[in-house]
Amino acid sequence: MISKKKRTPQLAVIGGGPAGLGAALAASKAGLDDIVMIERDIELGGILPQCIHDGFGSKVFKEVLTGPQYAQRYIDEISRTNVEVLLNTMVLELAGNRTITAVNSAEGMITIEPKAVVLAMGCRERSRHQVFIPGYRPAGVITAGAAQRDINIEGLMPGRKIVILGSGDIGLIMARRFTLEGAQVEGVYEIMDHPGGLPRNIVQCCYDYDIPLLLSHTVTFIHGKKRVEGVTVAHVDADLKAVKDTERFIDCDTLVLSVGLIPENELSKHAGVTLDPVTAGPIVDERMETTVDGIFACGNVVNVFDLVDYVTRTSEVAGRGAAEFVLQGRKREAPVKVLPGRNVKYVVPQFVSDLGRDIDFYFRVEHPERAVTARVLAGTTPLKSKKHKMVHPPEMLTASATVADIAEAAKAEGRKVDSLMVEVVDSGK
Amino acid sequence: MSCALELTEEDGEVKGVTGAQCKVGEKYAAEEFSDPRRVVTTTVPVRHGLLPLLPVRTTTSIPRRLILDVTRRLAEVVLEAPVSNGQVIVPDIMGTGVDVIASRDLEKHDDRRQGQA
């Protein structure tokens, strides 16, 4: 059944989590009055409704909220607009000319031809097969986010004796959650020699409950045919390879994997959007517009953020950018590349289309370092810099460059700025 | 975000805190030492709601030693949908002076999704 109704809104937002909500609201405030938001789940909020812990919103609201509380703020606001929200609706295809094919049980197949699109699909979890853990395929191997959904939304307990692989925030949060729901968490195992999550989570999720956190360890085998019966863990060497004679067996019925998040870009690929191999998300400019005109992207689909506050901020940039594109059209100048400099793994945005605006940069360092200065360079001229006592990969950093700063740099160099760089250097220099 | 704090004590009394990047850090370090407190978040069963569980939170932090008791106490509560964001679920939980409130709106829904309550 193909719905006879073809929607031709000004803007289609794919994803109703914090990124999609922020973009739709910002676009609405910027003057768009015909916006469709498409969400595959039964309600809005994205991942937030299952993130029942607090720690959200300290920058945006100056309050520390739980995930559902943060989502509720935006859900309340969107209900006061005329944004059309399609729930239980899955986008199957996105064409380069922005035509969307979606499906739901109420209308069947739906065609949407918007003037602009905001991609806000978020990310998915890395699975067991992507990290190559041998063994049979018993029940009881589950990713941390899926376990979180089971426990916090579905009311299901994935298991009773838990081993967690990966010390990223989701793994740590679930160590606590499983414990509070009566399971026994045997330990959290981390392949790197430093933890993946924030210090506060190590304290409040492991230390508080006497759950061991072992660094430089990994799971080398999953035992059990129908149900997990245990795992083998081993110490790893400097090349992250398991050291055979350090192997030991741990009795458990569930292995929870917290081994990374991958931006969900199937639709972006359909549309011919260029992806950045380092972030696994679209390459975007200072208005979060991708390499395809009229297709914007924000939130975790661009790169995995650790603060939802930054997701909200980038989504508002995308929403305003999309509104401007629809209402005024937008001719983009030759792109100015934004390069990751010393100890910077990646920077978003990856290019700038219009140097006539203030730009906010989001970046991560490659390795931990103490007593450093992070700074933006226009050409070879350093702009603002910020000192950090400590930087490490799990904590995303921000920097900015104002129009005035860039103009001054151009003046100092006697030519137009043709590249920007974000670097992290020793504070001594 | 995070910073590394150093606290000096003498006979169980806090003498000083260094390394804080904001005022909150100093207070936090002293509290962590003498009276560690935590915000508790968990879920509570709901009947006839869109979802079988309602996420709840303590409005502010409670003594860390009471976390497990608070969660067990909350597991006994059974709510009826609809519930409003901020609605008090259990006032003054375990005599802490802190309320436990709903973290979201949860509407009534007649055909239940999977899950138990």
Which residues are within 8 A (CB) of B100 and not within 5 positions of it... i.e. 6 or more apart? B40, B56, B57, B58, B59, B70, B74, B88, B89, B90, B91, B93
Between β-strands A54-56 and A108-112, what pairing exists: parallel, antiparallel or unpaired?
unpaired
Q: Work out the pLDDT band at A332, boundaries 50, 70, 90.
A: confident
pTM score > 0.80 for this model? yes
The domains of chain B are located at 6-34, 38-102
CATH code where residue A344 lies: 2.60.40
Q: Which domain holds residue A211?
A: 127-259
Please answer yes or no on whether B57 and A52 come within 8 Å at the CB atom.
yes
End-of-domain residue from the set A225, A259, A293: A259
Please answer yes or no on whether B41 and A198 come within 8 Å at the CB atom.
no
Q: Could you give phi then psi for residue B62, rounded to 5 degrees? A: -125, 165
Interface with chain B: mutation pick from A72, A200, A307, highest number of B CBs within 10 Å: A72
Q: Are residues A247 and A271 in the same domain?
A: no
Which pLDDT score is estimated for A63?
93
Q: Are residues A98 and A112 in the same domain?
A: yes
Q: Are residues A266 and A414 in the same domain?
A: no
Q: Are A224 and A230 in contact (CB under 8 A)?
A: yes
In the predicted model, is pLDDT for residue A173 greater than 60? yes
Q: Are residues A20 and A47 in the same domain?
A: yes
Q: Are residues A343 and A322 in the same domain?
A: no
In the predicted model, is pLDDT for residue B116 greater than 50? no
Task: State the average pLDDT for chain A.
Answer: 95
- Total tally of structural domains belonging to chain A: 3
Q: Are residues A233 and A271 in the same domain?
A: no
Is CATH 3.10.530.10 the classification given to domain B38-102? Answer: yes
Q: Is residue A1 part of a domain?
A: no
Which pLDDT score is estimated for A245?
95
Q: Work out the pLDDT band at A429, boundaries 50, 70, 90.
A: low
Which pLDDT score is estimated for B2?
62
Please answer yes or no on whether B55 and A390 come within 8 Å at the CB atom.
no
Q: Could you give phi then psi for residue A353, rounded to 5 degrees? A: -95, -20
Q: Are residues A97 and A132 in the same domain?
A: no
Give A13-67 pLDDT, tens digit per residue.
999 999 999 999 999 999 999 999 999 999 999 999 999 999 999 999 999 999 9
Q: What ipTM does this complex have?
A: 0.90
Q: Are residues A29 and A118 in the same domain?
A: yes
Chain B touched by A389 (CB under 8 Å):
yes
Chain A residues whose CB is inside 8 A of the B117 CB are 155
Q: Work out the pLDDT band at B26, boundaries 50, 70, 90.
A: confident
Q: Are residues A420 and A380 in the same domain?
A: yes
Q: Are residues A275 and A350 in the same domain?
A: no
Q: Are residues A250 and A267 in the same domain?
A: no
Q: Both tokens of residue A126?
A: 């890395």
Q: Is residue A104 part of a domain?
A: yes
CATH code where residue A247 lies: 3.50.50.60
Q: Is residue A242 part of a domain?
A: yes
Task: State the average pLDDT for chain B.
Answer: 87
Q: Work out the pLDDT band at B12, boundaries 50, 70, 90.
A: confident
